[in-house]
Structures are given as C-alpha cells and as structure tokens.
Structure 1
Amino acid sequence: MHFDPARDQRACDCPGFDEYLNFYEIDFATALPGTFHAMGRVLAGGYKIACHYWLPAGERPAKGTVMILHGYFDHVGLFDHLIHYLLERGYAVVAFDLPGHGLSNGERASIESFDHYVEVLDAVSSKTRSNLPEPLSAIGQSTGGAILLKRILEEGGQEFDKVTLLAPLVEPTLWWLNRLVYALTKRLKTVIPRKFLSNSSDAEFLDFLAARDPLQSRFVPILWIGAMKEWVRQCRSAAPSDYPVTILQGNRDTTLSWRINLRILRRRFPRGNIQIIPGARHHMANEMPELRQLIFDQMGF
C-alpha cells in the first residue's frame, strides 16, 4: 500500500471484500459518493497490518488527515460512525487494525509489549505524513488512546496537530484483581476466557460484539495482561508532558478506574483539556446516537 491514490487501487479486489465492507457498513465510497477508499497491507514491526484510508468527496482540499487507533478487541470495522463523521467534515481518514486484531496478523488479541503497538503507529504515521493531506491528527479509543499517550510521553507528539483520546486506557477497573490474576496464572495458563462487558449504552452494538462479529476474540492472553501491567507502571512514572492533549471520559465507564486515571493524566498532561461526558460508558465511539453526537462534537474536529 502506497498511500497514494494514483498508485493504490480503489479499495481491494480480494474475494469477499465487498461483503466485508457492507457487513461493517464502512463502504463510504458508496455511502458518500466521490469518496476515495483504498485498503492494503503495511509492513510494520514485523507484522502485516491491515490499513485503510479514505479521502473525502468534493472539490475542496481535505482539511487534514485524522488517524484512528482502535481499542482492545476492536478493529476498523467497528468505527463506521467516527469515520463517517470525519469524512462528512472534510477530513481524510486513516485507520488500521492493531497486531492480533481484525485483519492484521499476529497472535489474537496479544502483544508482548505496548512498544510494538507504538512501532506500528510510527510506521503508519510516517507513510501518512509523506503522502496524505496535512496536518495529521489522531484519535485513540481506550488502548488506542494508551498507544498515543505512550508515544507522546516517551518521544513527544510533534507530528500530530491534535490528539483526542476517548476513555484512554491506564488502569482498568479492579486493577488489584487483574494484577492478582496475572500473578497467579502467568505460569499456569496462556489465556483466560473473555467476559463481554456492558461498555456502551447502545444495546444493539453490545449484541453485535457478543453474538455477531466474527472478528471478536473470545479469550484474553495472559501475555497481553503483562504488557498492560508494564504500560500502567510506565504511565504512572512518566515525566509530565506539555502536549495539549484532549481527553474525553464518560462518567458511567465501568471498564476503567476512570477517576484514578484522570488524576494520573492531569499530572502527566498539565496543559491537557479533560472533559467528562455525563452518561457515557467506555466505548465512546459506539455510544447510543445522542451521546455519540455529543462526544464527537467535543473532539475538536
């Protein structure tokens, strides 16, 4: 994939590709006539990463490019609402499946270190900056937010014009229990069963995840819990950053220890813009329509 419309084919000629687009309702070349969509693979950090980009319809140049980083267990197909919102507002959009997620390769829902996620982010953002409309901004949901936080805290975020985080992962709820499970099982098991959580007020979305999405993992690898544990330690001990990140957090989020997390993030980002969204749960990109619109309108795009 070249990130160049002159060299990239429209979307993909792979068998079943149109069915994939229609199933997840991300065929924006049809839904928004004049939109250009390309999909391909990016080699990054030893992985083959499934990556999409869309260019908005219309004669006016795009306002810039927004990169979307999804959360744990997620994939690009779940971000139809956010992609549509950005395209309608004249932004180009880049989105990719993290290693072990969606159509990317790698052990399912697993990673040895969040460093590998950052390597993939850097590879995709480098190609994006070289070829797609500037400026480049980023939106991260949950683990996607953690990846952006890690990148900014360790190396700065100068390449991003804006960064907006939706319920970024620091400590999950009952973090003490997660650490206990990890300590007791890391030498005995490689995975534990996944429990589907009520992480959105949209009942249809929750049913889709649990019963109809073939790209959902049913297990949590112990290795991933260890990688998350190390990320929490790194975030807690990181030096403050003056990057003006925007953080949106729902006050009905039961996936994260969100009050503790906001205390941590206020110390790490003293110039950050932190907003609490009343009624929102964890999966903010897939809340019920009224809340979702409120969330999107607060992102700054």
Structure 2
Amino acid sequence: MTTSSRIEERTALVAGFRTRLLEVGGSAAPGTGGAPLLLLHGYSDSADTWRRVLALLADRGQRAVAIDLPGFGAADRLRPDEPMLDQYVRIVHAASTALWGDEAPILVGNSMGGAVALRCAQEEPSPAGVVPIGPAGFDHPAWFGVIEQQPLLRWALSDAMPVPSPVLRAATSRIYKQLAYGDPSRARREDTDAFASHFRSARDVRRLLATGRRLKNELVDPFELHRIVCPVLLVWGERDRMVTCRGSRHLLAAIPDARYERLDGVGHCPQLEVPELVCDLLTGFRSALRAGDWDATDVGREPLELAA
C-alpha cells in the first residue's frame, strides 16, 4: 500500500497469541501529543483497515498501533473454549501493557473492535478514553445476516464448482465495497484488495462465517455501560448498512457525558472512507484529554456535514 513506508510492521506475541502490529510514532517520547492510540479492527477485517489513518497520524507525530485481533488477518486463531470478547479484552490489555507499560492508551475500535473497546473500558485499569466507531452490540446484531445473504458470497460457497482464488477475491472485494462504504465511489482499490487478500479459498470464507456465528451470539446485550468512567467519543456513519446508527441512543442514554459525532453520508468504515476526518477527531479527542478540557456539552450539537 502507498502508506506503508511510514508504518512499521512487525509480529509480536501477545497473551500467548502470535499477531501483527502496525505502528507509527514509535520514537516519540511518552506523553508527546497525549496518550497513545490502540486501533482495533472489525469482524472479518484486519489492522490494514487503519493504514490511511496511521499514515496521517504519523504526519502529525502521533503514537499509534493497529493490531490484528486473533482469528483475523495474520493473527493466530482464537481458542474455542473461551468467549471471544473475553479473549479480546485480555489481549488488548496485554498489548497495551507490552507497548506502553502503565501509560493508559485511548482505545479506538470499528464495529466489532468498537464493542471490544467498550468492553475494555468496563474493566480496570481503565483506558484514557475510548472511541467506538459504528460499534457492534447495540440492538439486534443484524450485520451477520446482511453478510450471509449476499448473492455473490452464496455463489462463491456453493459446491457446484470450485471458485478460483482470483474470482473469490474479486467477489469479496465487491461485497466489501458495497457494505463498508456509504458512498462506494470513495472506495480505493488498494483498500478493498487488502481486505480481500485474506480470503484465498472458500475454506477461508467458511471459517470466517463460523467465527461470525459465534460472535453474533456474544453481541446480544454484551455491555455494562454504567461501569465505564473514562471519556467516550462515539463516532457513527449515518449510512452505516451493517450496524445502524440508531444504536447510538443506548450508549448516550447510559453515558450522558459521551460526545457523539454522526458522519452524514458515511458508511460502516469511516477510517477508510474519510480517513482525514477520523484522524482529526482522534487528535482532537486526544488533545482535549491531554488539556483536561473534555466537555460533554458538545453532545447533541448539529452533526458534521460531509460532501457526498
């Protein structure tokens, strides 16, 4: 990808899982620019979804790491004898400690990663703040049904004939473009190709769907939001087809001090569709926390307007 020259990519062993980290700002001194950011991807995705945001953060001298969560990307598979979300909470805590010691990070998560960030915020030690972006786990988790009903996916998994890897990747890329973006014309070929690269065979897709069925059951009423005491910046694409932004009402009712940014015209993965805006929101959130002037009175203001 064109952003890779600014990003350090390495493997790491975290809580017993081998995984991959994408890191920027590693040479910055602790406290420079505020708390570090730990970026968590969504279901079926990988740390690659954050490359554009990472490159922008690198330009601003910010410290940030994106991680492949087990079961996805280049990471080991999850253990079958423990709930997925519980494993992810432990992994995120272990990664934070290994990377930054006692310095609390800001957790930023998209979709499933947003649910993981919120679950982590319920535990001790608390992160410096959380930024759930289109988080899963609110209302009925209909996102999985949307995926399973895709005609291209059902065709690719049919036993009528084997589907060549290039055809499967092309179909996966097309589905991702339709579901992840509010405006598919904003999709960049390198981003959709990076997503599709993890699916080389129908076996990969079947394994992913099995993981999704397992996760779906855990995303029914997964939170105890009253336990969250750190600042929360909720970000949601108004055109999110996977996890409707109507779910925001649950979080805002439970955490009155949360701030809500609804992104008009944007879909499920703002980090891909409007990475500059996401970077602005993250650096603004971090600056506010560093200055100690986080203000919940911004809740309820007019949503941001974006060009279609």
Q: Under a length normalisation based on structure 1, what TM-score does the superposition of the two structures give?
A: 0.70
CA–CA distance in 1 between the matches of 2:180 and 2:9?
A: 31
Cα distance in 2, alignment partners of residues 207 and 104 from structure 1: 24
Deviation at 1:249, TM superposition (A): 0.7
What whole-Å deviation, never above 9, does each CA across 1:40-99 have from its counterpart, x for those lacking one?
A: 21232x421222333267899732421111111211223211101212222112221010
Contact 1:244–1:271 (CA under 8 A) maintained in structure 2: yes
One-letter identity of the residue aligned with 1:282: H
Find the residue that maps to 1:296 and give its secondary structure: helix
- CA shift, 1:240, in A, is 5.1
- Secondary structure at the aligned position of 1:40 is classed as strand
Identify the match of residue 108 of structure 2 among 136, 139, 159: 139
Amino acid at match of 1:263: R
What per-residue deviation string (whole Å, max 9, x for no partner) do you get for residues 201-259 of structure 1? 25463755665631245344334323332232222x65453332101111111111320
Match of 2:76, SS state, is: coil
Q: Is the 8 A contact 1:164 1:246 kept in 2?
A: yes
Whether 1:199 aligns to 2:192 is no
- Summarize the Cα distance change of 1:225–1:199 in structure 2 as closer, same or farther, 3 Å threshold: same
User: Which residue is 1:79 aligned to?
Assistant: 50
- Secondary structure at the counterpart of residue 3 of structure 2: coil
Aligned partners of 1:123 and 1:151: how far apart in 2? 11
CA 1:40 to 1:264, structure 2 compared with 1: closer, same or farther past 3 Å?
A: same
Please tell me whether residue 25 in structure 1 is matched to residue 3 in structure 2: yes
Q: Over the residues paired in the alignment, what is the CA RMSD in angstroms?
A: 3.5
| 1:240–1:268 Cα contact (<8 Å) kept | no
Give, in whole Å, the separation in 1 of the partners of 2:13 and 2:36.
Answer: 18
Which one of 17, 21, 24 corresponds to residue 51 of structure 1?
A: 21
Please list, as runs of the form range in 1=range in 2, the aligned pairs for 1:114-125 lying within 5 A after superposition: 114-125=85-96
Structure 1 portions without partners, runs of 5+: 1-22, 30-36, 182-190
1:275 alignment partner in structure 2: 261
SS at match of 1:233: coil
Number of residue pairs the alignment of both structures matches: 250
Q: Report the Cα offset of residue 268 of structure 1.
A: 2.9
Distance 1:245 1:101 in 2: 26
Q: Does 1:263 align with 2:249?
A: yes
Give the alignment of 1:159-238 within 5 angstroms.
Answer: 160-171=127-138, 175=142, 178=145, 196=176, 197-200=178-181, 201-203=183-185, 205=187, 208=190, 213-216=196-199, 218-219=205-206, 220-235=208-223
Distance 1:151 1:285 in 2: 21
Q: Distance in 1 between matches of 2:272 and 2:125?
A: 26
Matched with 1:293 is 276
Does the 8 Å CA contact 1:56/1:62 hold for their aligned counterparts? no
Cα distance change, pair 256–60 in 1 and its aligned pair in 2 (3 A): closer
Q: Deviations over 1:267-288 (max 9, x none)?
A: 332211112111111111000x
Identity %: 20
Work out the CA distance in 1 between the residues paired with 2:136 and 2:49: 18
| 1:153-209 CA-partner distances (Å, limit 9, x unpaired) | 3x1562x22321211112477739849x8xxxxxxxxx9997544311254637556
2:142 partner letter: W
- Structure 2: distance between partners of 1:84 and 1:147: 23
Are the equivalent residues in 2 in contact too, given 1:242–1:270 (CA < 8 A)?
Answer: no
- Is the 8 Å Cα contact of residues 38 and 105 (structure 2) preserved in structure 1? yes
- Paired with 2:11 and 2:141, the residues of 1 have a C-alpha distance of 39
1:100-147 deviation line (CA, Å, top 9, x unaligned): 211112169xx952111112111101112228xx56222111111110
Cα distance change of structure 1 residues 227 and 67 upon mapping to structure 2, 3 Å threshold: same
Alignment CA distance shift 1:199-1:81 (3 Å): same
Matched AA of 1:50: R
